[in-house]
Amino acid sequence: MSIYDYQAVDISGQPRSLADYRGKLLLIVNVASKCGLTPQYEGLEALYQRHRQQGLEILGFPCDQFGHQEPGTEAEIAEFCSVNYGVSFPLFGKIEVNGEQAHPLYRYLRQQQPGRFDDSVPNAERLLAHLRKTYPELLGTDAVKWNFTKFLVSRDGVVQARFEPVVTPAELESEIAARL
């Protein structure tokens, strides 16, 4: 299996193959509209505008698994992202990223880059404290820990890196520029 073997339904309800993004550098992000990290949409859009001509695609996957922070319908999510953040990068239908109902794409991403979210991650203290209190079962696993976890996929479809939610889009600028 590769990243290009997966499909997802886009925000308008149309099936979309990830093979459509072959040859692009992908940043795949689980997103939410009612999260303390929601302002990262602004940084994601800025990153997209600066680098899309060089081959960057950002794929946003709304997820309501963390604190019920993405309660809206796909239409409401699309409107929120457009009106509040001018999001023009592709958005997909709401999915789950962990558990029995996790989208197969996210199972694959987690398998390829299990991640490590602990005290060694800069600026993670507040989110780690919250996770220890509310979702301790996620710590020490490959599970996505919160909204705005980011997976970087090379132009040839290899999942190369995972960035935990506290890593901002601005902090990814040099990493992305170097791979374009």
Please report whether residue 128 resides in a domain: yes
Please report whether residue 154 resides in a domain: yes
Residues in the chain: 180
| pLDDT computed for residue 135 by the predictor | 84
* Annotated catalytic residue within 18, 35, 127, 131: 35
63 is catalytic: no
Please report whether residue 179 resides in a domain: no
pLDDT digits 0-9 by tens, 36-53: 999 999 999 999 999 999
DSSP state, residue 103: -
Tell me the pLDDT of the chain averaged across its residues. 94
Give the count of domains, the chain: 1
pLDDT digits 0-9 by tens, 96-139: 999 999 999 999 999 999 987 766 776 778 888 888 888 888 88
Percent of the chain with pLDDT over 70: 97
CATH code of the domain in which 43 resides:
3.40.30.10
- 173 Cβ neighbours under 8 A, 6+ residues apart: 47, 50
How many whole angstroms separate alpha carbon 97 and alpha carbon 174? 27
**Is 28 in contact with 150 (CB distance < 8 Å)?**
yes
